[in-house]
Amino acid sequence: MLSDVQLHKGASHPMGGLCELRALGRHILAEFFHCDVHRLNDPVTVQNLMMESAKACGATVVQAVFHSFNPHGVSGVVVIAESHLAIHTWPEYGHAAVDVFTCGEKIDPWLAVECLKAGFGAREVSSQEVSRIKLPFEPPGVEAIGLPAERLVCVPEDLEAAPPG
């Protein structure tokens, strides 16, 4: 399922009418609180949990890079074919900040968040989803590179007054 589909008056679209805006990406911003401080400070554990969460959401892992800070904390990124997962930990506060950015319809970024919550033993999570790259129309060059043109759905002008849904 494509995320964040909204009806939008397509004034800039040559077909006019109402057009669906479809997000090409889903970006979860998650804050994990009251985590196991030893897990947050161990770069091997942090990397393993991030890799596991990428796989749990159905992503294809491309590469991972992690770095330990002195005296504490870990930052890292898991590059996935569908975008990335990134983290920074503050063991001294029992806190981790994570981005899970996915593209496509087959990946569920919320599964990665749940995996990390369990893995870090977080007692509280604050998160939000941001739709990324909203397109009201087919981007230029789509036909030239062979992408499907089904990103745009327009409805007749007479339905403009009807509420969405």
Which are the catalytic amino acids?
83, 88, 103
Q: Say if CB 33 and CB 125 are below 8 A apart.
A: yes
Whether residue 136 has a cis bond before it, omega within 30° of 0: no
Report how far residue 132's alpha carbon sits from residue 55's, in angstroms, rounded to the nearest whole number. Answer: 21
> How far, in Å, are 16, 86, 153, 163 from residue 11 at the CA level?
6, 37, 14, 18
